[in-house]
Amino acid sequence: MRRRTVRQIQRLFALISFLLVTAIVLLAGQSLGVIPQDLLAFADPARFLPRPPQIALISGHAGFDSGAVCTDAAGNVTFTEAEINARVAGLAAQRLRRAGVDVLILDEYDPRLENLDTLLLLSLHADSCIELSGYKAAGRISSSVPAEDGILLACLEQHYAAATGLLPHPNTITHDMTRYHAFRRILPSTPAAILEMGFLGGDQTLLVNDADRVATGVAESVTCYLEQKKAMNEE
C-alpha cells in the first residue's frame, strides 16, 4: 500500500518535470526564434472562439475631400457633406457594436477596401445643398452576389425609409453610384451598396440636427440584412 503511494507520487513528479521541461523548451525556442510565430499563433486559444460578424461602412469622402459644401446667405461654410457622413457612420457603428457587430469605418479610398472580405460594405454619402428631398440606394450593375445585394437594397428601402421618413428619390441615381469605385476594389463576394442619405439642402433638418435618427436607419438596415442572411444560411 505504502509502496503504491510512493509510486504514484513518483509518477506525479515525473509528469510535473516533463511539463516544466516542455515549457522551458518552448519558451527558449520562442526567444531564439526557432519556433515559428505561425505555430504559436495556431495554438492561440482566440482562434477557436466564434468570430463576431464583421461589416464595413465607408464614411463618404473621409481622408480625401469634403464632398458637398453648404454655405449661408453670406457665403460662409455652414457644414460639409464629409462632416455629416462621419457623424452618421460613427453613430451607426456605435449602435451596431452594442448589438455585437464588429464594424470597420473606412475612408473613401481606404487601402483596406482592396479585396475587402466582410459580410457587407455600405458607403454613406449625402447629396448636394439643393432644395430637393429623398434618399437613394444603389448597388453594382453586375454583381456576382445578386441575391445578397438585392436583400441589402431591400433592407435599406424598408428600414432607412421607415426610420427617417424620407421617400426614395431614384431619378437622380447616377453612374457615380452604380459604378462606384469601391465596388471594383472589394472581393466580388462581398455584398455592397452606396446610400445617399438625403439632400443637404431639402433634408437639412434631418441630416444636420437629427443624425441619430439617420444612424438608426442605417443600423437597422444592416441588422435586417444580417438577420436575413443568417436565416438564408440556416435553410
Residues that bind Zn ion (CB under 5 A): 60, 67, 125
69-71 vs 77-80, strand pairing mode? antiparallel
Q: Which is nearer to Zn ion, 117 or 176 (CB)?
A: 176
CB of 228 to Zn ion, least distance (A): 27
CB 70 within 8 A of CB 78: yes
Which residue has the CB atom at the shortest distance from Zn ion? 125
Q: Which is nearer to Zn ion, 53 or 139 (CB)?
A: 139
Q: How far apart are CA 156 and CA 55, in angstroms?
A: 15
Only one residue has cell 438596415, namely: 221
- Closer Cβ to Zn ion, 53 or 67, answer by number: 67
In the complex with Zn ion, the residue whose CB is nearer, 87 or 125, is 125
CB of 105 to Zn ion, least distance (A): 16
Single-letter code of the amino acid located at 204: Q
Closest contact distance (angstroms) between CB of 37 and Zn ion is: 42
Whole-angstrom distance, CA of residue 57 vs CA of residue 110? 11
User: Residue 16 CA to chain centroid, in angstroms?
Assistant: 47
The CB-of-70 to Zn ion minimum distance in angstroms stands at 13
DSSP per-residue codes, 31-75: HHT-S-HHHHHHT-GGGGSPPPPEEEEEETTTTT---SEEE-TTS
CB of 159 to Zn ion, least distance (A): 21
Q: Which is nearer to Zn ion, 61 or 159 (CB)?
A: 61
